[in-house]
Structure 1
Amino acid sequence: MTQREQPNILFILADDLGWADLGVYGATDFATPHLDRLAAQGARFTQAYANSAVCSATRFALITGRYQYRLRGGLEEPIAGSNTQGLGLPPEHPTLPSLLRDAGYDTALIGKWHLGHPPAYGPLQSGYDRFFGNLGGVVDYFTHKPGVGEHVPRDLWEGDLPVERTGYYTHVLADEAEAYVRGRQGSQRPFFLSLHFTAPHWPWEGPGDEAVSRELKDLFHYDGGSLRKYGEIVEALDAAVGRVLAALDATGQADDTIVVFTSDNGGERFSKTWPFTGQKTELLEGGLRVPTLLRWSARIRPHVQTQVTITADWLPTLLAAAGGAPHPGYPSDGENILPVLEGHAPAHPRTLYWRYKAQSQRAVRDGDWKYLQINDNEFLFDVAVDARERANLRDRHPDVFTRLRLQWEQWNEGFLPITDEVFTHGLTPDVQADRYVPHSLARKRPSGA
């Protein structure tokens, strides 16, 4: 495949977007017309999973195509605060941008990195030619100051240097991405643009809340936010994506650009995850299943895609579309799903695994069966018929329950061990205040909860 035959790739990642936070997935309290239109033009996934129920862990899997538990930084849920300083994505590890760059692509990250700080780590050290955005996990939408535990006055960078910008951060990222796309018109080289928004992650600030942002002492304001405010944040995200898609149209690059839109994990607090239960930081479906869209007008027809997928699939899939493959010394734990997307192969069962330090969580999805452990409580669900994970079938199907529990144990032996500490920053502030097993699942309330 020559460079002229290689598609551009625009990978858009939302932050903490819940399953039903787009109109095409069930949102009713606000509108997402641009993303709904993208869904109508390509594949809308119904069984797409994040590699983790929290942000930086999923980002390790996205960029490496491997389970995050292979890397020390990937064990953190998430990387944040002073006790995770010095951790990050090793620059020597092959990545999706570095492999695409080797295949002839120009590469750029606009938005959130969250995989370690320079000089040891950073986007430019791991395959991106250009970087503009925030290095840490969260920034204020207006002041661009970081969250608790970050040691810089504001977290906005161009390359390895801090920069100043004014404006609502979602709009700032849209400005940068739109300019990048327009600047690619007529280029002889394909591009890979990672556009990683911080929306709709807290703080709870819509585009008109600049005065509110300057009063905040803690970016997670327990007394802030509402369903209406959350809708404003998501609608701003949708409009930003619409601007970048319009730039592809205006420059004649839309048909031969692969556009992927997904989220790093499930939603929290104000997010809608119906019909699932659970949220960010939980291995219930609501913490793991994410809205996912893909458009490649030149080769993929519009359809609803039922294939079970996980974040790590994107590296082998996008490399295959570009005529490449994963590095042989770092084989992907994901699967190339391009044949399924193009209709050359049927959707097929998968076996996917998760673990999460907080609440000692474990999960396996094997076909339609799902094994789940939260603290000392264990469950078996058929998620094809029980999407809300209410009917515990462990006693009715003890053979399946025992088999999946053993499968998880055998799988887990191949990865770095979970550290003894369970850092409180591995939970969202809402969950820190109440470490719980959801009432709908627990046979008994765990002690100390």
Structure 2
Amino acid sequence: MGLASMGLAPSRVEHLFALLAILPFILFAPMAGWLGDRFPKSLIIRLSSWFQLLVLILMGGGLWLGSRQEAASWPLYIVMLAFFLLAMQSALLSPSKMGVVKELVGSERLGFANGVMEGSVILMILLGQIIGGYWYDAWGLQNGRAPWAAAMIPVLWILIGAALSICFSHLIQKTKSQSDEAFSWAMTMRHFGDLRELRKNEALWRCALGIAFFWSFGGFLQMLLIQIAEDRWGSLEGLGVGAAILWIPVVVGIVIGSLLASWICNRRNELGLIVIGGALMCLATGFLAIFQVGAISFLLLVLAGFGGALYLVPLNVFLQDRAPENHRGMVLSASNLCINLGLVLAVGIQFFMSFLGVPFWLQFILISGVCGWATFHIMRLLPKDFIRLVFLGVFRSIYKIRALGVDQIPKEGGILMVPNHLSYIDAFV
């Protein structure tokens, strides 16, 4: 965006890079699913960590060339290529990264582990934007550096982080391959075939759509907050810090929400949290149409992040737990395809709203209305889970419940349970 303000890059370049980040998840979705099933997920994680390091070196080289020839535009194409390759690495890694959790911890601890993992992933994504923006501004532009040189500062720190991630990847317990399917070029084009397979399981299909809605919501909100930051602080100096200021409350909310969701889902995946999270997202963005500055807007952004975490964690746990062992990679990659098709739509809509000059308050009203519609639809699908979660919370605050022999209940199939007494409270407990 700094280069765009100097006429060295296209205007609205942030939307272009957003599409570059999304495109590999669409193009390589079947390949990512095949890799996650055909090879040990721990191996895919290690190899992708090395690939990430090489791509970041390429990106740093492109930025260095740009700092040497600031008037030239071709170094920007090198950076864009590196950015695309980095997104491709993330796309190929994603099914293995998500699928390995159940293989390491099992179903019983999946809710807690998934909450910690998802919260950490989203936290690092947002912290990267906050810290990177601050470094770009405070250590770069405000010290008299050109945009090319300023951008090298966060990339160098990311390189250090990439080297550390290689070390961590080799600490992951080795896992086994879940499929022996041979590679064929036809699989690179079976996007809609994977979606058809996913649609055969109605529960998994609805879950994938719910996850896609969350990330579409996040993508729209991200582009909108960048637009607000650009409007308040300009497109060059101050934009990085300004965007960081707007993202900090969202990060705080996601951290708190992820920890709470992990604790609640520690023993059992509580799908009722999805309804609560969706309602909070709807309310927060609706009130942001009225309060866009000050302490109230800060609290509303916290609430939006908090609700988003409550919404996402149970959905991811359900998808990973219910996906068949030998096709988990395919299911997760098909879910990623849904996510990124939704992101393309969300970023595209926000781009046209920005281009047409739609006021911020109206954009918040739009996203709040969509959240309200989605929450109402989810409530119709999960009324029992929502009521159970609310009443169980009340009962557990009064009654001390201790479950015995849970490990004797099979995960699948029927079971005959004969109680020695029956009361109306048993339905909730």
Length-normalised TM-score, structure 1: 0.29
| Higher relative helix content | 2
Structure with the higher strand share, 1 or 2: 1
